[in-house]
């Protein structure tokens, strides 16, 4: 991938933590991601633009046309208070409450630094802490988090115990995925547990989806449905490829151990557009990962810069 100047990068010297408003946004118009850039427990919050509570409906107010002349008359006469009161009823949709936009999923990486853990140890650690990482976090040096306005990419880098770790993120409109590359300057240094979740981050018991299953011993697919009349079905898929080390699945976790670098791809779909969201999302991710990071990034940057 061609290197660009860093003059259009917005830099931060600390992670977003749990504050969604401090996370960095990436998106394709249909698929979006908020990158938190945390060190030990990274969160990438995912959205897909058709995941709404309930289906389409007609909220046109049947009295709008009839009362519009009266509202105009009141305004012309200077009776703004009465015009406002009448407009609140006559110009509002019926019902006056809209559908709710819902998040697609959260991609959670529990990152192990130092000695590579066993798959068993990673799963036990993840299960014990649930949504909350109560361990003392490591203290990295040279931490940087950025979003690059010239390439529409985001990244995180830091040094910990002599090893430089880096994560690069993009949301590709060309390939329809959010992709993450995780690398380090030492062989075998990349180890983490990956999960797909959907719910309150501080309450492990609240998980707003119906099913989750492993795929190809290297990925997950999460499925659920939204509430309300005509609610839709949605799916979020994630797959992992590793260079060096190993990847496997245990329960509803993906375990990466001792890798040199890792490429993660995730996508989402709903029945608003696709009759089979799970099959569609998984196929999109599978095809994207075949290209590798360099090809994905090059196509993304070319499309964005155009």
> At residue 184, does pLDDT exceed 60?
yes
Q: What are phi and psi of 136, to 5 degrees?
A: -70, 120
277 burial type by CB count under 10 A (0-12 exposed, 13-18 middle, 19+ buried)? buried
In this prediction, residue 139 carries a pLDDT of 83
> At residue 282, does pLDDT exceed 70?
yes
> At residue 285, does pLDDT exceed 60?
yes
In this prediction, residue 127 carries a pLDDT of 37
In this prediction, residue 201 carries a pLDDT of 65
Mean pLDDT of 250-272: 97
In this prediction, residue 219 carries a pLDDT of 98
Q: For the range 168-172, what are the long-range contacts, defined as Cβ-Cβ under 8 Å and sequence gap of 24 or more? A: 168/293, 168/297, 169/26, 169/33, 169/35, 169/44, 170/26, 170/296, 170/297, 170/300, 171/26, 171/27, 171/28, 171/31, 171/32, 171/33, 171/300, 172/28, 172/288, 172/296, 172/299, 172/300, 172/303
pLDDT band at residue 55, thresholds of 50, 70 and 90?
A: confident
Q: Over the chain, what is the mean pLDDT?
A: 90
For strands 24-27 and 41-48, give the pairing: unpaired
> At residue 220, does pLDDT exceed 70?
yes
pLDDT band at residue 227, thresholds of 50, 70 and 90?
A: confident
In angstroms, what CA-CA distances link 287 with 29, 168, 174, 220, 265?
20, 19, 12, 16, 10
266 burial type by CB count under 10 A (0-12 exposed, 13-18 middle, 19+ buried)? buried
> At residue 250, does pLDDT exceed 50?
yes
In this prediction, residue 203 carries a pLDDT of 64
> At residue 42, does pLDDT exceed 60?
yes
All structural domains of the chain, each given as residue ranges with its CATH number in brackets, are 9-52+102-305 (2.70.98.50), 58-98 (no CATH)
d(CA 223, CA 221) in angstroms, rounded, equals: 7
In this prediction, residue 137 carries a pLDDT of 55
d(CA 91, CA 101) in angstroms, rounded, equals: 23
In this prediction, residue 204 carries a pLDDT of 59
In this prediction, residue 32 carries a pLDDT of 96
In angstroms, what CA-CA distances link 5 with 2, 25, 148, 298?
10, 20, 9, 15
Mean pLDDT of 10-21: 95
In this prediction, residue 202 carries a pLDDT of 65
pLDDT band at residue 228, thresholds of 50, 70 and 90?
A: confident
pLDDT band at residue 54, thresholds of 50, 70 and 90?
A: confident
CB 35 within 8 A of CB 26: yes
pLDDT band at residue 193, thresholds of 50, 70 and 90?
A: very high
Q: What is the pTM of this model?
A: 0.85
What is the token pair recorded at 66?
């009839």
pLDDT band at residue 200, thresholds of 50, 70 and 90?
A: confident
* Edge-to-edge strand ranges of the sheet holding 24-27: 24-27, 31-35, 41-48, 105-112, 190-197, 253-259, 246-250
């Amino acid at each position: 991938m061609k290197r660009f100047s860093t003059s259009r990068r917005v830099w931060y010297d600390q992670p977003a933590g749990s504050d969604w408003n401090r996370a960095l946004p990436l998106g394709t118009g249909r698929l979006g991601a908020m990158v938190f850039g945390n060190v030990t427990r990274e969160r990438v919050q995912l959205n897909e633009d058709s995941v709404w509570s309930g289906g389409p409906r007609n909220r046109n107010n049947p009295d709008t046309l009839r009362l519009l002349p009266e509202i105009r008359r009141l305004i012309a006469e200077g009776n703004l208070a009465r015009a406002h009161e009448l407009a609140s009823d006559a110009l509002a949709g019926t019902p006056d409450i809209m559908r709710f936009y819902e998040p697609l999923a959260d991609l959670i990486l529990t990152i192990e630094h130092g000695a590579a853990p066993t798959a068993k140890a990673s799963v036990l650690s993840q299960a014990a802490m649930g949504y909350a990482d109560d361990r003392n976090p490591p203290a990295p040096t040279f931490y940087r988090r950025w979003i690059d306005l010239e390439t529409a990419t985001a990244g995180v880098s830091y040094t910990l115990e002599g090893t430089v770790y880096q994560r690069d993120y993009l949301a590709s409109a060309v390939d329809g995925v959010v992709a993450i590359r995780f690398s380090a300057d030492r062989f075998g240094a990349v180890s983490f547990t990956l999960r797909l979740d959907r719910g309150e981050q501080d309450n492990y018991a609240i998980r707003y989806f119906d099913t989750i299953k492993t795929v190809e011993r290297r990925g997950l697919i999460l499925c659920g449905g939204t509430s309300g009349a005509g609610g839709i079905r949605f799916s979020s898929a994630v797959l992992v490829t590793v260079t060096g080390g190993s990847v496997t699945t245990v329960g509803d976790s993906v375990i990466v151990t001792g890798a040199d670098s890792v490429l993660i791809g995730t996508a989402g779909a709903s029945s608003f557009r696709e009759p089979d969201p799970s099959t569609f999302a998984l196929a999109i991710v599978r095809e994207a990962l075949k290209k590798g990071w360099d090809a994905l990034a090059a196509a993304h940057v070319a499309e964005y810069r155009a």
